[in-house]
Structure 1
Amino acid sequence: MGQPPDSDYIRVGKIAVQRGLMSREQLEKTIHELSDVAYARMREGADQVPELGEFLVQKGFLTAETLREIQREMERMIVEPVSKKFGKYTLLREIGRGGMSVVWEAFDNELRRRVAVKFLTSYRPGKAEEEDDETLERFYREAQTAAKLKHPNIIDIYEVSVREGMHYIAM
């Protein structure tokens, strides 16, 4: 049991679609159904609702073993997207995550300063899906836009690049 579906939970469904276990339409329908279930349960006072993966098992799209495999894959992609040494950066600790990225506190070994490194986790190279191209474009557009802004409450962008197949922004 977990929280209502958000981008992290939807990733389970995206992987199921990529593996051919269900169609995009089936995923969208299931997400809407789970949202309805979550809303109803929360109105009843429940503080937890099924996660999307559990719901996909209940609906017969995944087996419990397939769900565990997908969860292990997600851990490799999100929790440990790179080694502790990443180019000129030493990754110190994860400080945040969202639907499409994870942010690490890091140390820039060349400039001898602490930085944040944001990794794009939802993009997978070699996929022909238009959505992934849009995700990658949005990631780079975010970096370019932030780099143009100068304000005390907006962090400076030091670098945007790709290394070892991982797209990242150093800030």
Structure 2
Amino acid sequence: MYITADGSAAQGIYALDRETGETQWGIPGPNIPEPLVRTEDIVLASYDRYELVAFDATSGDRQWSKAMYDGDLFAPAVGHRRVFSADKETVYALAVESGDVQWEQALDVAGPPLVVGESVVVPTTDRTVGLSIEDGSELWAVSEASSTGYVPVIRGLLYTSGNTVTLRTNCE
């Protein structure tokens, strides 16, 4: 189990044994405002200093990091052996193993990315966009600017806009 601690002497990231609660490893550090994400043997943390960092899930050793320059980071999403991260102006696809940038797409990002099928769904300031996992090209867009939330469903996306709920199918 992985947790973050904030506002105390123990601020940082900690791996705890599920049965005993004992600390397996800890990394003191800055505030981590977004949830941690685990994939394979990597734990991902979005530091509030515009940096996405990958740690080894077993040892806590830093594997790689990627500096982001356009504002606070949203929580990353993982799928298809890639990490999808976003700041306020750009969506990034990075290789899980190395952090190497696979592609970037400039958008006015308003929330965290979400992997749905073969697309990365990204809320922007004026629409919700589906990007290709492979190259970041725009596959589709929904122009509802006031979308307040979305949930992936089989081969689609359920989202709200005001008091309307919409199901978009074939988001792949």
Range of TM-score over shorter length: under 0.3
The answer to which structure, 1 or 2, has the higher relative contact order (CA under 8 A, 6+ apart) is 1
Higher helix share: 1
Q: Which is greater in Rg?
A: 1
Q: TM-score, normalised by structure 1?
A: 0.27
